[in-house]
A = this chain, B = another copy of it.
């Protein structure tokens, strides 16, 4: 690709794309599901549930954290993660605002 031209798009487009990218792997979807299902913030339990090595899971967790979708805190010798619902809410809103009001207008569009 030579150079990524992502900077040439609007901030909103980049933010939404970054959010979608964080969700763009089934392992990360699965991790979010586990975090959402359990009340305690899990850590290495995720490794036991997923068909992936510990280092790989740790990497996915890092990406989710960088994207702001989850929070992580160190609890003694282990790490505790949980979903950042606020970030989820924010992006859900942004996603809808991008398309929803246009949807009505074009519901019965051409092809």
Whether, in the assembled complex, A36 has its beta carbon less than 8 Å from a beta carbon of chain B, the answer is yes
Give the A interface residue count (CB, 8 A). Answer: 49
A10 to B72, CA, bound (A): 26
Whether, in the assembled complex, A39 has its beta carbon less than 8 Å from a beta carbon of chain B, the answer is yes
Q: Which of A21, A41, A107, A110 has most chain B Cβ within 10 Å? A: A110
Whether, in the assembled complex, A6 has its beta carbon less than 8 Å from a beta carbon of chain B, the answer is yes
Closest-by-CB residue of B relative to A1 is: B56
Residues on A facing B (Cβ under 8 Å): 5-6, 8-10, 13-14, 16-18, 20-30, 32-33, 36-37, 39-41, 51-52, 71-73, 80-83, 85, 88, 98-99, 102-103, 105-107, 109-111
